[in-house]
A and B are shown apart, each in its own frame.
Chain A
Amino acid sequence: MPASTRPAPARARAGPAPAENLDVLVGEVRTTLLQNSHQVGADTVARLLDLDPGRRVLRATRPFTYAVSPDERVGVHCPLPTGSGTRADGVGTVLARASVTGGIILQASARARLVRAAGERRLPWSHYLTNPGTIEVGARCGAPDLTAGFLRDSARSSPAAGPAREYLDLGAVVNRLLNQVQRMPYIDRVTMLRARRTRLRFAVTWRSPDSGELAESPDIELVVHDETSRTVRLRLPASISDPAEAVVACEDLALHDWLLTTVANLMENSRIGVDPAAEVVARIRPAVDHLLHLWMPGARVAEDLGWMWTALERRPGFSRQWTSLRGQIQNQLLLAVLEKPAAAPTHGNLVFQDGVEGISHRA
């Protein structure tokens, strides 16, 4: 996303007027499994993500295959949620895109940079289109208020939330993109593994360069609300100014969080220790076949955001949990080999084949 070039939200302006400055990047990423019976090839992925014939799908092959659709612009004019309940109207555009990692994990993300509107009046759309991905906020509320509102709103699924109001809904934009890709003709829609869509909302703010010593110490706060909902608050020093990097980092985080959630769920529901290991292995096999090799936290994250993963590895310790899950899977594979009744052939492959058949009868 191009950095905002308009003079209105200039961060560098001197003077203590906190209500004047506004620069918050908000976004949402949803992650799910591409509905296909097997991993899809790079060319198919490119066709799946070719949502705008005028522009190209970007592709990478190292360290894993990755492709991302061109940005789609969505015009919005709606109230924004605020922590204090102050009414804040926003006008502008949201940028959304879809991506596929490893030919199997489908993500969609939407983001917008919230800046202060120059005046009270709404301008013609042509004005907002010159700054794609920017929403101009009409009210005087500050960044903390908007951040709090945006991140809190993700807990909206509680039944007490009351009637839905037409707030800025990045989730709806993202969901529509996911649905659009999932119904493309190039995939067969045979589900290889049941996995839930997870959603991660993020809000990024920048410390002003003149705010003293703390300015250069970045900060990340990840909250896991329930089985599928997460929020991330990022505070970056002014030197890391490219919002596009922050979006990529959040997508990378969402991807690994989904991997962890999905594999952990699968293990939890595989009746380990209750059923024979061969049956357990048949249940966890899709993870072995398709997911385990995709764990590369931070692989796509820009160098000046590398601290983000360092912090997350320290607490809550993503890779620690992943390593433990991998170990558990390997133990079940070993047990399946050991438990195999002596009567049958002792070829390793056959052990697993039998397990799969055993399950398909049960299912």
Chain B
Amino acid sequence: MIVFATSDKGGTGRSVTSCNVAYRRAMQGSDVCYLDFDFGSPTSGAIFGVEAAGQGTPTGRGLHTYLAGGTAEAEQFDVWTQSTLGGGWARPLGAGRLTLLPGDAGGGEFPVNKQMIRRCTDLFLSLDEEFELTLVDLSAGRSYATELVLRATADPVLAAKTTRWLVFHRWTRQHIVAASGLVHGTQGILETGAEYGHRKPDLEDGIRFVRTAVLEPESPQLASLRPEQSVWLQSYDIDLQRLAGKMRLGSSLMIGSIPLDPVLQWREQIIVEDDISTTRIANAETGQAFEALAERLTDKSLWEGL
């Protein structure tokens, strides 16, 4: 299965959530690879704690160079052995592989051509030989990266592969409108996809939304609010839900909701069990939300056509 992570705006927590989902999924026993297609800002190395590829790899064998034809094979890092986070993790018993394919340091966006699409489909096919889940983190917005993967997945050689999209957005009016536009708007994913040969309804069936940095009105973090604030918050939350429904990203199309966690506001990182139970810098709810989202990626009942 290939999962694309995208968002209309930057700063949604798309990359940090995707990395955490990849980590959780590997912990659950799947072999997972994570592809950093955020060519302008390849930071997944830093999130995973793979220092050799912190801001993209400097070796000239990153994904950017691979797609441009500059190297025959993209560099791969085994996160279990290369990560320095928490003093390095050994691969836990029963966990699957967790492999990072970083972007290039100093890379940027680039126009798409036919050879690039061919290389992209070859990459997806060969990774699918060995990984149950290929998670692709795209640049924000209507990017070349998005165009590339839409054209690649329209190629009949990938027809047998399940592809799914996660659209990340924060729980604000602007983000809801923007996320809806990214999917349904002009030059959005659906329109662009149809242009390249996707069937719109099929593509739409494979798209779900993930809310990030969400403050639930009943959250204990809000216990100290004044009654006026609390009342306003509740009514505004209802407004936003109505708006989300109208913009076609209501709760039936929402596959995950990640609560606001202070630790992720300060440092984009993988939240491990130790952060929750030992040092207690992260909230248990955040870990649970990542865990649930990782499970739902393959939960058929949540991905049926609506």
Contact = CB atoms under 8 A, between A and B. Distances in A.
B98 to A, nearest CB: 13
A194 B61 contact: no
Nearest to A176: B72
Contacts of A269: 29, 94, 96
Contact of B129 (A32, A185, A363): A32
Given A164-B60, A176-B72, A188 B121 contact: no
Interface string A23-37: 000000000110100
Interface in A148-188: 157, 159, 161-164, 169, 171-172, 175-176, 178-179, 182-183, 185, 188
A271 B94 contact: yes
B52 A179 contact: no
B266 to A, nearest CB: 28
B57 interface: yes
A274 B94 contact: yes
Given A179-B125, A183-B125, A171 B73 contact: yes
Contacts of B73: 171-172, 175
Contact of B128 (A163, A164, A191, A271): A191
B72 A175 contact: yes
B196 to A, nearest CB: 18
Given A183-B157, A274-B94, A161 B72 contact: no
B72 A183 contact: no
B90 interface: no
B71 A197 contact: no
Contacts of B161: 189
A162 B59 contact: yes
Contacts of B57: 159
A42 interface: no
B122 interface: yes
Contact of A183 (B52, B59, B121): B121
Nearest to A189: B160
B interface: dominant SS? loop
A188 B156 CA distance: 10
Interface in A190-207: 190-191, 194-197
A188 B72 CA distance: 25
Interface residues on B, range: 20 to 34
A221 to B, nearest CB: 26
A163 B70 CA distance: 11
Contacts of B298: 363
Most-contacted residue by chain B among A161, A178, A179, A271 (CB, 10 A): A179
A164 B66 CA distance: 12
B129 A197 contact: yes
A162 B52 CA distance: 11
Contacts of A171: 72-73
Interface string B93-115: 01010000000000000000000
Given A159-B52, A189-B161, A164 B76 contact: no
Which of B31, B52, B53, B59 has its CB near the most chain A CB atoms (within 10 A)? B59
A179 B121 CA distance: 10
Contacts of A183: 121-122, 125, 157
Contacts of B237: none
A35 B126 CA distance: 10
B275 interface: no
Contact of B126 (A159, A179, A185, A271): A179
Given A159-B75, A189-B161, A164 B61 contact: yes
B56 to A, nearest CB: 12
B156 to A, nearest CB: 8
B96 A189 contact: no
Contacts of A172: 72-73
A295 to B, nearest CB: 21
Contacts of B171: none
Contacts of A175: 72-73, 126
Contacts of A185: 156
Contacts of B157: 183, 189
Contacts of A35: 125, 128-129
Contacts of B121: 183
9 nearest CB pairs, A to B: A172-B72, A159-B52, A189-B160, A179-B122, A183-B157, A163-B60, A196-B130, A190-B160, A164-B61
28 contacts: A32-B129, A35-B128, A157-B75, A159-B52, A159-B59, A159-B75, A161-B59, A162-B59, A163-B60, A163-B61, A164-B71, A172-B73, A175-B73, A175-B126, A179-B125, A182-B125, A182-B126, A183-B157, A188-B160, A189-B125, A189-B157, A189-B161, A190-B160, A194-B31, A194-B131, A195-B129, A196-B130, A274-B94
Interface of B: 29, 31, 52-53, 57, 59-61, 71-73, 75-77, 82, 94, 96, 121-122, 125-126, 128-132, 156-161, 298
